[in-house]
Amino acid sequence: MANLFGKAANELPRKIVVGILIIAALTVAGIAYYFTPKYTRVGYMPKQPIPFDHSLHVTGLGLDCRFCHSFVEKSGFSNVPTTQTCMSCHRMVKADSPKLAALRESWESGEPVRWTRVYQLPDYVYFDHSAHVNRGVSCFSCHGEVNQMKTIYHKTPLSMSWCLDCHRNPEYFVRPQEKVFDLGWQLPSGQSQVEMGKHLVEQEKIQPSDNCSACHR
């Protein structure tokens, strides 16, 4: 039969092994990067029907989060403001702005503005806003520096391990209750977050559950 492959073929197996290793490493790295919520959710910035600017309203005008998201302290669900809430100012301020055409239309027809939802947890996850903001978890911890966002976008992964990071180590994240809605708040220099956090956890009796049934009811 003579030889089926030339002499050079003896180098092939080694090259194939190296090639497979490289492809396998790239696949693993690719899945680890692209298939996790860190990639699939973070940075999601849908186009809204009205180009609402959080930085203008919060930093510029000094509105509190609760001015619009009014039930966040009392309810599990943090509401999106109604057209009426917007119009309480915008009947006078910028009443003719072309950017607010959709708002005025909603005001006249009675149909709500169809905002695109940015943060959405799966149906099998139970989450209560009031339980968090009343225990020293700032809006900032989950939604990021909304006070500086011109357009709202998804800031954090909301993956289960991300939730557990705080549930298992609350002292790294909690802040004084009166600073929860102060998005620009900085830790006073000379203080350590962990020390302060430990103190707060003890004082406020914060006991985050890490039972499955806490979130998957």
Partner 1 sequence: MPRVENAVDRAESGRELLARPALVLNEREASWVNDAVCSVVEKPAPLWWWLAVVAFGVLAGAVPLVVVYFISTGLGVWGLQSPVFWGVAILNFVFWIEIGHAGTLISAILLFTRQRWRNSVNRAAEAMTIFAVLCAAVFPLFHIGRQWMFWYMVPVPESYAVWQNFRAPLLWDEFAVGTYFTVSCLFWYFGLLPDIASLRDRATKLWKKRLYHVLCWGWTGSLRAWRHYEAGYLCIAGVVSVLVISVASVVSTDFATTVLPGWHTTIFPPDFITGAIFSGFAMIVTLMVPLRAAYPRLKDMITEKHLDNMAKVLLATGSLVGYSYLIELFMAWYGANPYERYTFWNRITGPDCATYFFMFGFNVLLPQIFWFRLPRIHPWILWTASVLINVGMWFERYSIIVVSLERDFLPSSWRHYLPTWVDWGLFFGSVGLFFFLFLLFLRVLPAISIAEIKTLLAKPRRPREPEAPFDEPEPLLPSREIYGLGAEFSSEEDLRRASEETRKKGYVWWDAYAPHPIHGMEQAMRLPKSRVSFFVLMGGLLGLLIGIAMVTATSVPRPELLRSLTTGQLQGLFYATVVQGKPYFSLPAFVPVLLELTILFAAFSGFLAVVLLSRLPRPHHPVWNWGELSRRATDDGFFLVIEARDPAFSPAESREFLERLGGRRLTYIPR
Closest contact distance (angstroms) between CB of 149 and partner 1 is: 24
Q: Which of positions 37-96 make contact with partner 1 (CB under 8 A)?
A: 37-38
Least separation in angstroms between CB 36 and partner 1: 5
**For 124-153, b where at least 16 C-beta lie within 10 A, e where not — what string?**
eeeeebeebbebbbbbbbbbbebbebeebe
Q: Of the ranges 84-92, 127-135, 165-173, 180-188, which one interacts with partner 1 (CB under 8 A)?
A: 165-173
36 lines the binding site for partner 1 (CB under 8 A): yes
Q: Which of residues 198-217 bind partner 1 (CB under 8 A)?
A: 212
Q: Contact letters (x/-) for partner 1, 166-205, by CB under 8 A? A: --xx--x---------------------------------
Cβ within 8 Å of residue 112, ≥6 positions away:
82, 83, 106
Q: Does 10 bind partner 1 (CB under 8 A)?
A: yes
> Are 149 and 54 a contacting pair, CB within 8 Å?
yes
Binding to partner 1 by residue 110, rule CB under 8 A?
no
Q: What is the DSSP letter of 117?
A: P
DSSP 32: H
Cβ distance to partner 1 smaller for residue 38 or 57:
38
Cβ pair 126, 91 in contact under 8 A: no
Nearer residue to partner 1 within complex by CB, 71 or 172? 172
Helix %, strand %, coil % of the chain (to 5): 50, 0, 50
Q: Which residues bind partner 1 (CB under 8 A)?
A: 1-10, 12-13, 32, 36-38, 157, 159-162, 164-165, 168-169, 172, 212
